[in-house]
Structure 1
């Protein structure tokens, strides 16, 4: 292909890349604004101004992404990325997550450096690219863009802990990235291309022994498994969640998982059906490790970290089914999980404002001080367990149904074992999720415990998120129909 043809294809791809171009421009504008504000009369209002500008930039990106729903670009930039309804849907989840996290920062008045806002935009840009990546090069670069920004954000708290958490995150992240890069190099050697959508890639891949494919595929998926905090790349969340500022934890526990889920789905579609067993084992072990470790936690953020490992295992149960129903159930699950997690971390921050570390002891007896918020907390815990009348029940019902459907299709006993383990662990999770309402309502508050006032805006936001979780149980059709269009 001539250089002129390459340039023409790049220019033709630009309209489908408009939200990403906007975010890149907004990233540069926020950096420039930060520099200028330091030498302006509004120096003391720098973080507030930058937060408002970032919210505005994300709102514009939200509109641009919505416009893409009816104007899909297909393959862009010589098959490096692919814009479809799935990418648009997950971009919307990522943008809404980022906007809600900025509201979290506003409500709690979390002290974050001015650099946070430009880095947040860069990470959102990387997540957008992850949702569209269909080439080994774009997969690796998008994950690295997200990772570098995430490492920096984790260190933004005060004291030594955030720095320690950031270093641990960096070390484990660098290891998973190196393993992934090695896997991609092996894939390139086996197929002669990094374009996962090409016929050459599929035909060359099929000529290799199944065991070799499993090993190489696992190495290649390591970066994605790290973002999902799945076993064996699950060591980092407890320390990172405990040390990082809560709004940043809220973002890192949701948006990267949404993007990684779609990327994992795209990658699994090019690997043979033998990967079903591998994914089933990863899901099974992640559910067990996450739930059993969470039982012993008193720190609320560490509890949510181990819970996140188990929840990630439940999410990929849908992908383990290797069918369309499985993908739809996983998409529904991640949507519900994102809503619940954002609300839970905001509640942890609001109820633990008077303590350095949010623990079960710090919320003891606060059900009387915050009755509405405590009821919302209880409903959200019901959602994480997967009990009615919350959308968490619907989400687990859908992933287990897709798994049963897959078992009926191929008769693999491992899928039944995964189903049974998943159901049993749902019961196990009751014991640590329900610690929170127990401490809120049934433990007496110490006389020295102080309860800070909570803004009406924060209360309204949490109430709306909780109502959404209840509404998606009673009216599941709307979201399911939308997901089936993907």
Structure 2
């Protein structure tokens, strides 16, 4: 392509890049605002920066909803479509909710209080997630993942605690390993296909000309970065330590935003790979990863005594359930995965927020045993947390049941079409694991309502009524979307 045509394409692409440009401006503006506000008290600085960040994110959301130019951008580095817009909104909503919750529960005496630097770092993570949702080139995919990862490492180690520093270092080491493996796989993919563009016809054609075992090995190496971000086996090791080390708002954000962007790009990649009829089978390796993640997550969670670590292992298992729809490799499965991701947003955020609010009755301790007896002292929060735990199991009357029903229905449909035994194994073992998860999810409601407090009764600690309303409202959404799933499904269908 002539240089003049390339420059013209870049200029034309800016029309589909407005939300990302705005987030870049927002990132720089927050850094400058932090320097300008240095003379103010810490609480005032945080209030100003959190308010500005939320305003910037809401404007970015408006730009996404308003619609931008669709199609390829910047010489096929990015691809803007309605699916990308939907996942961007999930990331934005997660960011706004965690910032709002952090400000509502802000207290100078909190040991894990986040400094002002977390606002620009959060914006950088959101920007990376935006770019990842549109990435269709191996180079842009890698750079987007690295932007998310570097910001995440810093967010984990941002507080002045030894645990945070250790968690950040572990996150960095495991992230570097997975990144190196992914980059090696991408280099092999480029050598095999001669292109970095996964939407190029040559990408699938050249892969199909190689031995299936070679393609499978290269594909799995390339997917290391995606498995890392989704907390899937065998790149899950960082999850418990990072969730435990990071403050609640950061851990809650990690459990949603990077995963949402990664899910979409993973769907794009598996659809770009050769068809099974050409001798390449991506379903079986993905089914194995899903089975391993569901199993390890659930059985590890059974032995946890810390609430944040329990939610970490829960997220590993939930990630396994999340990719069940991707394993199906059909339109129904992809739509079911999108529905699962959208509902997981408010279910998981509610779980983190409610456990954090209840832990304030014990000076912020997050031991599961400390939840005993709190049902009588904090009935509203306890009932809401019970609803959330039922939703994470996947039982009615919560949307967790609907989400699991949709992904497993898509998986069964795929099994009937292909007869792949791995799909049958994932179907049966996945449903069995949903039953196993009852043991640790329902342990929390049991402690709340049927066990006395292990310590002497202390006065009830008052928590922010607005923060309580936010957490309870998110829990109630899990019941509302069970009763009215079509309201969300119709919205997803528009994208």
Same fold (TM over 0.5): yes
Q: State the match for 1:485 in structure 2.
A: 494
1:336 aligns with 2:343: yes
Counterpart selection for 2:389 from 381, 403, 409: 381
Q: State the match for 2:477 in structure 1.
A: 468
Q: State the match for 1:31 in structure 2.
A: 31
Give the match's secondary structure for 2:79. strand
Q: State the match for 1:6 in structure 2.
A: 6
Equivalent residues of 1:81, 1:135 under 8 A apart: yes
Tell me how far apart the structure 1 counterparts of residues 494 and 25 of structure 2 sit (CA, whole Å). Answer: 31
| Superposition deviation, residue 356 in structure 1 | 4.5
Give the match's secondary structure for 1:75. strand
Unaligned 5+ runs, structure 1? none
Equivalent residues of 2:137, 2:198 under 8 A apart: yes
Tell me how far apart the structure 1 counterparts of residues 374 and 159 of structure 2 sit (CA, whole Å). Answer: 26
1:366 aligns with 2:374: yes
Residues 272-326 of structure 1 show CA distances to partners (whole Å, capped at 9, x for unaligned) of 3300001000001100000000000110000000010000000001100010000
Unaligned 5+ runs, structure 2? 108-112
Tell me how far apart the structure 2 counterparts of residues 85 and 328 of structure 1 sit (CA, whole Å). Answer: 13
Tell me how far apart the structure 1 counterparts of residues 312 and 40 of structure 2 sit (CA, whole Å). Answer: 42
1:100 aligns with 2:107: no
Tell me how far apart the structure 2 counterparts of residues 450 and 406 of structure 1 sit (CA, whole Å). Answer: 55
Structure 1 residues 42 and 456, CA, compared in 2 at 3 Å: closer, same or farther? closer
| Superposition deviation, residue 5 in structure 1 | 1.2
Equivalent residues of 1:287, 1:310 under 8 A apart: yes
Map 1:389-468 to 2 at 5 A: 389-445=397-453, 446-468=455-477
What TM-score do you get using the length of structure 2 for normalisation? 0.96
Counterpart selection for 2:282 from 271, 275, 278: 275
Q: State the match for 1:173 in structure 2.
A: 175
Map 1:249-328 to 2 at 5 A: 249-272=251-274, 273=276, 274-328=281-335
Tell me how far apart the structure 2 counterparts of residues 297 and 41 of structure 1 sit (CA, whole Å). Answer: 42
RMSD, aligned CA? 1.2
Tell me how far apart the structure 2 counterparts of residues 451 and 308 of structure 1 sit (CA, whole Å). Answer: 30
Tell me how far apart the structure 1 counterparts of residues 344 and 17 of structure 2 sit (CA, whole Å). Answer: 28
Q: State the match for 2:110 in structure 1.
A: none
Q: State the match for 1:123 in structure 2.
A: 125
Select between 157-166 and 351-360 the one with higher mean Cα deviation: 351-360
Structure 1 residues 350 and 9, CA, compared in 2 at 3 Å: closer, same or farther? same
Q: State the match for 1:217 in structure 2.
A: 219
Structure 1 residues 22 and 119, CA, compared in 2 at 3 Å: closer, same or farther? same
| Superposition deviation, residue 463 in structure 1 | 2.4
1:54 aligns with 2:53: yes
Equivalent residues of 2:393, 2:437 under 8 A apart: yes
| Superposition deviation, residue 349 in structure 1 | 1.2
Equivalent residues of 1:90, 1:259 under 8 A apart: yes
Structure 1 residues 330 and 41, CA, compared in 2 at 3 Å: closer, same or farther? closer
Tell me how far apart the structure 1 counterparts of residues 282 and 40 of structure 2 sit (CA, whole Å). Answer: 59
Tell me how far apart the structure 2 counterparts of residues 451 and 437 of structure 1 sit (CA, whole Å). Answer: 19
Equivalent residues of 2:356, 2:364 under 8 A apart: no
Give the match's secondary structure for 1:352. helix
Equivalent residues of 2:355, 2:385 under 8 A apart: no
| Superposition deviation, residue 142 in structure 1 | 0.2
Counterpart selection for 2:146 from 144, 161, 164: 144
Tell me how far apart the structure 2 counterparts of residues 147 and 173 of structure 1 sit (CA, whole Å). Answer: 7
| Superposition deviation, residue 158 in structure 1 | 3.2
Map 1:152-167 to 2 at 5 A: 152-167=154-169
Equivalent residues of 2:197, 2:203 under 8 A apart: yes
1:345 aligns with 2:352: yes
Residues 97-138 of structure 1 show CA distances to partners (whole Å, capped at 9, x for unaligned) of 000001110122162111100111011000000100000010
Residues 32-88 of structure 1 show CA distances to partners (whole Å, capped at 9, x for unaligned) of 1111211x45666222211111011111111111111xx442110011011111100
Tell me how far apart the structure 2 counterparts of residues 163 and 155 of structure 1 sit (CA, whole Å). Answer: 5
| Superposition deviation, residue 462 in structure 1 | 1.9
Equivalent residues of 1:37, 1:43 under 8 A apart: no
Structure 1 residues 99 and 162, CA, compared in 2 at 3 Å: closer, same or farther? same
Structure 1 residues 43 and 241, CA, compared in 2 at 3 Å: closer, same or farther? closer
Equivalent residues of 1:157, 1:243 under 8 A apart: no
- How many pairs align? 483
Tell me how far apart the structure 1 counterparts of residues 468 and 283 of structure 2 sit (CA, whole Å). Answer: 43
Q: State the match for 2:65 in structure 1.
A: 66
